[in-house]
Amino acid sequence: MFTDEGVNDLFGMFFGQQSGQRRGRRNAVIKGEDFETETTLSLDEAFHGTTRLIQLKGQTIKVTIKPGVTDLQMLRIAGKGGVGVNGGPNGDLYLTIKIAPHQEFQRIGNDLHRKLYVELYTALLGGKTHVKTLSDNITVNIPKGTQNGKELRLRGLGMPVYAKKNEFGKLFVKIEIVLPEKLNEEEIDLFRKLAELRGAK
């Protein structure tokens, strides 16, 4: 049988423990909320690297994006999420990168692919022509007798390898031979003679 003193002790133990638990929850150190969002880059921005100002949850977050970032790559920006509770760490920002299609270049991994239109005479006789890359315009040599659809492989002219200094993929250049238009009679005659010569062999 409980005495008044025993009952008081029992109530004190029970409700005191509950009160302590509530205080413990109120004082718990909690990490802030993680944020998630996405942004779209051009292929040129992905090549050179860029920055974005992300407007999220009433705050502006500046994000630096390194060269070579890939489509659908998720970046973790530590401490840029929600504010922590009771001195807990801030949450993180998870930023998904999307890269828009490019009119001239197709990206496969760290390699780039593009077409290069070459005049028939240059393909037959060989010569030099200019190729636009994402970093510069370069001059390439077209070997004599280059066939339509031939692919030139240019090392170190593809995309930067993400987070690796001075590492690049390749640039593949597919030759598309352009036939001459509006030939005059003299030019047509020369092609006829060429056809006869080729047929005679």
Q: Calculate mean pLDDT across residues 185-196.
A: 86
pLDDT, residue 35, reads 96
DSSP result, 94-154 = EEEEEE---SS-EEETTEEEEEEEEEHHHHHH-EEEEEE-SS-EEEEEE-TTPPTT-EEEE
pLDDT, residue 27, reads 79
Q: What predicted TM-score, i.e. pTM, was given to this entire model?
A: 0.80
In whole angstroms, what separates CA 164 from the centre of its chain?
14
Provide, rounded to the nearest whole percent, the portion of the chain with pLDDT above 90: 73
pLDDT, residue 174, reads 97
Q: Using the CB atoms, write b or e for 159-192: b if 16+ within 10 Å.
A: bbebeeeeebbbbbbebebeeeeeeeeeeeeeee
| Structure confidence at residue 136 as a pLDDT band (50, 70, 90) | very high
| Structure confidence at residue 199 as a pLDDT band (50, 70, 90) | confident
Q: Which residues contact 126 (CB under 8 A, 6 or more apart)?
A: 141, 142, 143, 144, 145, 146
Is the pLDDT confidence value at 12 over 70? no
pLDDT, residue 6, reads 56
Of 20 and 135, the one with more pLDDT: 135
47 within 8 A of 159, measured Cβ to Cβ: yes
Q: Report the amino acid identity of residue 159.
A: M
| Structure confidence at residue 195 as a pLDDT band (50, 70, 90) | confident
SS3 12: helix
| Structure confidence at residue 91 as a pLDDT band (50, 70, 90) | very high
pLDDT, residue 22, reads 58
Q: Calculate mean pLDDT across residues 122-130.
A: 95
Residue with tokens 């920006």: 77
Provide, rounded to the nearest whole percent, the portion of the chain with pLDDT above 70: 87
Q: Calculate mean pLDDT across residues 81-93.
A: 93
Domains of the chain as residue ranges with CATH = 30-99 (2.60.260.20), 106-200 (2.60.260.20)
**Angle at Cα 127 formed by Cα 123 and Cα 132, nearest 5°?**
90
Is the pLDDT confidence value at 7 over 60? no
91 within 8 A of 34, measured Cβ to Cβ: yes
- CA distance linking residue 97 with residue 134, whole number of Å: 19
- What pLDDT, in 10s, does the model give residues 18-76? 555 555 567 799 999 999 999 999 999 999 999 999 999 889 999 999 999 999 999 99
